[in-house]
Structure 1
Amino acid sequence: MDDSANTHYPILLVHGLFGFGRIGPFNYFKGIKDALAESGARVFVPIISAANNNETRGEQLLEHIRRVCTQTGAQRVNLIGHSQGALTARYAAATAPHLVASVTSVSGPNHGSEAADRMRQAFVPGTLPETIAGALTTAFSTFLSAITGHSQLPQHALEALNALTTEGVTAFNLKYPQGLPETRGGMGAEYVNDVFYYSWSGIIKGSRLSESLNLLDPLHNACRVFGSFFTRETKENDGMVGRFSSHLGHVIRSDYPLDHLDTINHLAPMRKKTVNPLTLYVEHAKLLKNKGL
């Protein structure tokens, strides 16, 4: 039996905005839990609010961490958070470092998302468009939670949006700075308050003409559209998060040829893969294992 990724502490995969565990045959972390488990890892996917602020989601995550520790007998866990899940994981580690051995940010907006900034600008606070958009997206989040059997989870789409903007994340970072780089584009401290911090992410590379059959992937096309609205990291973003904005702790790599959804393995089936996201997760688990985590 392969136990190359059998980490000392269990791994929790933390989903981002509008995330879920499983809906029928569909998984948010597509094939990732299975790939890790086949390499010996103990893996859990906690279900937290599909849309809410980082602190609310973080408190929900802490409840799951305590539950996993009780269930497995482990003293701590390794957190791997995608997108807003990275901020959720950071909150848990900052407020309860005795329960968290490591935090890994995958495509995390650790310095804010320019895509969120543009959406926030499009909806003026207190106006009818903002109210309608907030109500619709909150209702969608509630629907996601309901069909996964977690209708009790609170949802608030506008709080989620505000928490992902550059302004919102800047305020968050003042309270929870662990692992942040001192200079833009640099690396942060790998080890803070007995917690290890890592990050990796991707960027959209090449022109639309170079995409071949990937042009038929609506998710990739959506990422390209969102990425076109970036004004700071115009050339290096994954459609939702800029390359340097994703940096946290020890940066493994931040320019994989992957868009924001590719990093959770949501690839068009006809697309030629130059980087396999499943391999990235398994290799990272091996790194954690080698660290004694």
Structure 2
Amino acid sequence: MKMKKTIGLSLFTLVFSSLTHASALQSYKSNFVVSNYAKTQYPIVFVHGFGLGFNRIGTDRVGLDYWYQIPQDLSRNGARVFSAELSAVGSNEIRGEQLLQQIDEVLALTGKSKVNLIGHSQGGPTIQYIEAIAPQKAASLTAIAGAMKGTPVFVNAAKTPLIEPFIHAFGTVLGYAMNLVTANRYSVEIQDALDAMNPEHMLAFNAKYGSNAIPKDCQSQGQKRTSNGIYHYSWMGNRQATNPLDVIESTVVSLGGTFLKGEANDGALPLCSGRYGQIIRQDYHHNHFDEVNQFFGILSPFAQDPIGLYRQHANRLKLQGL
């Protein structure tokens, strides 16, 4: 009986291990290349946002990427692509330090001197931290619905009775769950994570780590190329519920949108907060999840193809010599 239990436990461990990815850095390399359309001079590194802190769940053959099918497409079109895996629930500074280590790994693997960083949601201020502390390692920063000035969604939601403890409990559970499925051991600091998205706290963060790519107000443009030679870009959607078949996503972004009190938003972030560098567009038919082609590419029938947008952006970086 003891032998059977031991064998069973070993099989469970083997299966569970096959469903996780222990490496914090995910490399995407296609077995075939169809074009050089997205072949940038410097490698591209994707940086996820708050909560869903993973780059890939599953095996190389079967799994779910945070950036669903996007890195694979860029790789098939000539790009050298990586995605970072950071604390799901933590401060911008902690996540930034984790990212810096993975950037150094990318530079060592590729022999390049810089990377092109693309961050979604909290990934926006996370990559901004890199520009502040290691500008020589960044060729460009692109914020996809980047929380460059934070979002009041959690602040406003916490004003509703019983919502604040729920946010803390749910965020903590989510953080540990992400550690479990990714086999990481990152600290889970829900209050630090909420502060990192709080507009008032972001004022102090930007005073210390910001750049001229962040516009002064909601009518201004940030600088495309700052004095340190780094290029900056951004885009986002302005929709909430986009497809009735995607019940979970639609529920989350619709609820988030209600706590933004009428501000134009993507269900999680005000459009004003996402303004950064050269603003490509802020009116895509996407919500906060559609912007990274989640979940499993379920979009509105009227939505622009997210994969195509990233492919086009890689070509934009290529033509800029980045």
Q: Normalised by the size of structure 2, how large is the TM-score?
A: 0.82
**Secondary structure of 2:84's partner?**
coil
Report the Cα offset of residue 271 of structure 1.
4.0
Equivalence for 2:256: 226
What letter is aligned with 1:228? T
- The 8 Å contact of residues 256 and 275 in structure 1, kept in 2 or not, is answered as yes
2:196 is equivalent to residue 163 of structure 1: yes
- 1:228-262 deviations in whole A, cap 9, x for unaligned? 2213xx25210101112110111111111110000
- The 8 Å contact of residues 120 and 162 in structure 1, kept in 2 or not, is answered as no
Report the Cα offset of residue 220 of structure 1.
2.0
**Secondary structure of 2:153's partner?**
helix
- 1:103-136 deviations in whole A, cap 9, x for unaligned? 0000111122121222344589xxxx85675355
Taking the aligned partners of 1:123 and 1:185, their CA distance within structure 2 comes to 34
| Aligned counterpart for 2:310 among listed residues 278, 281, 289 | 281
Taking the aligned partners of 1:133 and 1:143, their CA distance within structure 2 comes to 15
Alignment of 1:1-293 (within 5 A): 1-18=34-51, 19-24=53-58, 25-122=63-160, 133-151=167-185, 153-178=186-211, 179-192=213-226, 193-204=228-239, 214=244, 216-231=246-261, 234=262, 236-267=264-295, 269=298, 271-293=300-322
Q: Normalised by the size of structure 1, how large is the TM-score?
A: 0.89
- The 8 Å contact of residues 185 and 247 in structure 1, kept in 2 or not, is answered as no
What letter is aligned with 2:291? T
Give 1 or 2 for the bigger CA radius of gyration.
2
Q: CA RMSD in A?
A: 2.1
More off after superposition, 114-123 vs 64-73: 114-123
Report the Cα offset of residue 218 of structure 1.
2.3
What letter is aligned with 1:88? T
Distance 1:269 1:201, change over 3 A: closer
Distance 1:198 1:269, change over 3 A: closer
Taking the aligned partners of 1:214 and 1:169, their CA distance within structure 2 comes to 34
What letter is aligned with 1:68? V
Count of aligned residue pairs for this structure pair: 281
Report the Cα offset of residue 270 of structure 1.
7.3
- The 8 Å contact of residues 120 and 165 in structure 1, kept in 2 or not, is answered as no
- The 8 Å contact of residues 190 and 198 in structure 1, kept in 2 or not, is answered as yes
Any gaps of 5 or more consecutive residues in structure 2? Answer: 1-33
What letter is aligned with 1:101? A
- The 8 Å contact of residues 91 and 176 in structure 1, kept in 2 or not, is answered as yes
- The 8 Å contact of residues 243 and 255 in structure 1, kept in 2 or not, is answered as no
What letter is aligned with 1:292? G
**Secondary structure of 2:156's partner?**
helix
